[in-house]
């Protein structure tokens, strides 16, 4: 009678847990926020570019890290884009050389950096510059500068541009500040890659520097990164520079269609060391899981010690997860390491439940009068200790020699 009542309470508890899980999933699904898609976009132009961080070529980017942003142009779109490039009124060649990057903060995410930007332009652009104050740096902005840190301006090295032998104009600028990072592979953390961008775009004040009028052409041969562009703790995996078509979902109140602008995107990509990530983050977790799996190697009569191990491991798991999560921003998805911790939580809970169940079986065994049933249950409990975490209930039903044993009656549905 006692066992039958206990089985009823166990069934009620299982139903309550399942019902609570269903209600929780439904509740979270109802209050979950769906993100709104941004209509602004970047598309790679048809001009020359250096995408040195593509691991296996531009066309093999599926599932692989790449500095490529947005969609590539189709063959027909590329032909139209090349025609627009030839017909553009203004063309400015842009080169970028990063001298140092530092203070990479994943929580914002952002980085500090400085280096050089140079511009080379022809006579039509020079006339436009002279009609707008004579300072070309005022016509361009570093789009991803954190304005709370520093104004998004280029500081000229010389007072006036240089007239080159071919009749073009040239001027060198210095940039220094803190810049926003929008391209990071957080889903694979801690095996992640991050790209530190510098976005250069026209500061159009009168609507005459749109994509059809002004094209920024990346200067590939002399762009690059210097000796101090490496960041301690990260591995440099290359740099890239390319022109993109930046589509704004607005005309900024000037009337007409939505505006497109030419943008130069210079990026240096960094990745984490797989071995360093393993020793720092995954090895402690592996040790904890080994402790959970070995919990049933503790002597059966030391039930308090058995039950305390999963609890201690659980607290340690929470502490370790909070420690590495403090380095990351608030993400709307689970990283690879988060998923590993979810599995670790499930294993720890299963071990704790099984410890409690085995403890109750040992208590019930002491009250048994039938020596055959008692010996059978003892063998099965020893088997559970040896084969954890196998399907212990199914094994007990198949291998228990006494169909009338209390263990079998408890396990049967």
The residue ranking higher by pLDDT, 330 or 395, is 330
Residue 7, both tokens: 């089985």
Q: What is d(CA 179, CA 143) in angstroms, rounded to the nearest whole number?
A: 9
Domains 2-27+276-411 and 41-272 share a fold: no
Instruction: State the pLDDT confidence band at 10, using cuts at 50, 70 and 90.
Output: low
Instruction: State the pLDDT confidence band at 394, using cuts at 50, 70 and 90.
Output: very low
- 3-state secondary structure at position 22: helix
For 308-361, the pLDDT digits (tens) are 888 999 999 999 999 999 999 988 889 999 999 999 999 898 888 888 877 767
On the question of pLDDT at 389 being above 60, the answer is no
- Give the mean pLDDT of 134-158: 81
Residues 6+ apart with CB under 8 A from 67: 51, 52, 53, 54, 183, 195, 238, 240, 242, 267, 269
Q: What is d(CA 350, CA 310) in angstroms, rounded to the nearest whole number?
A: 9
- 3-state secondary structure at position 145: strand
What are the C-alpha distances in Å from 14 to residues 23, 82, 269?
14, 66, 50
Q: In this predicted structure, what is the pLDDT of residue 223? A: 93
> Which residue is listed with tokens 């299963």?
350
Q: What CATH number labels 41-272? A: 2.70.170.10
> Which residue is listed with tokens 């960041």?
231
Q: In this predicted structure, what is the pLDDT of residue 385? A: 65
User: Residue 240's beta-bridge partner residues?
Assistant: 51, 267
Q: How far is CA 162 from the centre of its chain?
A: 44
For 70-79, the pLDDT digits (tens) are 777 788 888 8
Instruction: State the pLDDT confidence band at 215, using cuts at 50, 70 and 90.
Output: very high
Domain spans, the chain: 2-27+276-411, 41-272
On the question of pLDDT at 245 being above 80, the answer is yes
Closest of 199, 23, 2, 174 to residue 97, by C-alpha: 174
On the question of pLDDT at 248 being above 50, the answer is yes
Q: What is d(CA 77, CA 155) in angstroms, rounded to the nearest whole number?
A: 36
Cα angle, residue 153 at apex, residues 257 and 184 outer, rounded to 5°: 75
The residue ranking higher by pLDDT, 69 or 166, is 166
Q: Which of these CATH numbers, 1.10.10.10, 1.20.58.390, 1.20.1090.10, 3.30.70.360, describes 2-27+276-411?
A: 1.20.58.390
Q: How far is CA 256 from the centre of its chain?
A: 38
- For 381-395, what is the HEC assignment? HHHHHHHCCCCHHHH
Q: In this predicted structure, what is the pLDDT of residue 200? A: 95
- The number of C-alpha atoms within 13 Å of 47 and in the hemisphere containing its C-beta is 26
For 11-69, the pLDDT digits (tens) are 776 777 778 778 777 777 777 667 667 778 888 887 777 766 544 344 433 345 566 77
- 3-state secondary structure at position 112: strand
Q: In this predicted structure, what is the pLDDT of residue 110? A: 93
Residues 6+ apart with CB under 8 A from 377: 361, 364, 365, 368, 405, 406, 407
């Amino acid at each position: 009678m006692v066992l039958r009542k206990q089985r009823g309470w166990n069934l009620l508890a299982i139903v309550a847990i399942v019902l609570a899980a269903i209600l929780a999933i439904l509740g979270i699904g109802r209050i979950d926020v769906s993100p709104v898609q941004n209509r602004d976009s970047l598309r790679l132009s048809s001009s020359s570019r250096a995408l040195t961080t593509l691991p296996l070529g531009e066309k093999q980017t599926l599932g692989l890290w790449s500095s490529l942003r947005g969609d590539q142009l189709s063959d027909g779109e590329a032909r139209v884009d090349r025609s627009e490039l030839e017909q553009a009124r203004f063309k400015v060649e842009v080169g970028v050389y990063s001298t140092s990057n530092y203070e990479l903060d994943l929580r914002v995410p952002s980085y500090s950096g400085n280096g050089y930007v140079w511009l080379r332009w022809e006579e039509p652009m020079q006339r436009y510059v002279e009609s707008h104050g004579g300072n070309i740096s005022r016509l361009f902005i570093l789009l991803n500068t954190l304005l709370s840190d520093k104004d998004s301006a280029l500081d000229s090295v010389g007072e006036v541009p240089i007239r080159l032998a071919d009749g073009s104009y040239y001027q060198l600028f210095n940039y220094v500040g803190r810049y926003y990072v929008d391209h990071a592979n957080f889903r694979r953390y801690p095996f992640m890659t991050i790209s530190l961008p510098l976005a250069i775009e026209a500061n159009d004040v009168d609507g005459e520097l749109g994509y059809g009028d002004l094209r920024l052409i990346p200067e590939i041969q002399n762009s690059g990164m210097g000796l101090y562009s490496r960041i301690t703790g990260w591995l440099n995996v290359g740099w890239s520079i390319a022109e993109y078509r930046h589509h704004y979902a607005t005309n900024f109140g000037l009337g007409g269609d939505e505006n497109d602008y030419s943008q130069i995107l210079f990026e240096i990509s960094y990745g984490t060391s797989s071995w360093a990530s393993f020793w720092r983050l995954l090895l402690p977790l592996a040790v904890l899981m080994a402790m959970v799996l070995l919990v049933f190697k503790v002597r059966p009569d030391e039930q308090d010690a058995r039950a305390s191990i999963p609890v201690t491991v659980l607290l340690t798991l929470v502490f370790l997860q909070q420690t590495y999560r403090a380095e990351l921003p608030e993400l709307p998805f689970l990283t690879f390491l988060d998923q590993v911790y979810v599995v670790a939580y499930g294993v720890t809970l299963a071990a704790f439940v099984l410890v409690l169940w085995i403890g109750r079986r040992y208590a019930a065994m002491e009250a048994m009068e039938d020596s055959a049933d008692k010996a059978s249950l003892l063998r099965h409990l020893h088997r559970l200790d040896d084969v954890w975490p196998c399907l212990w209930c199914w094994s007990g039903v198949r291998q228990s020699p006494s169909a009338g044993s209390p263990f079998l009656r408890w396990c049967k549905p």
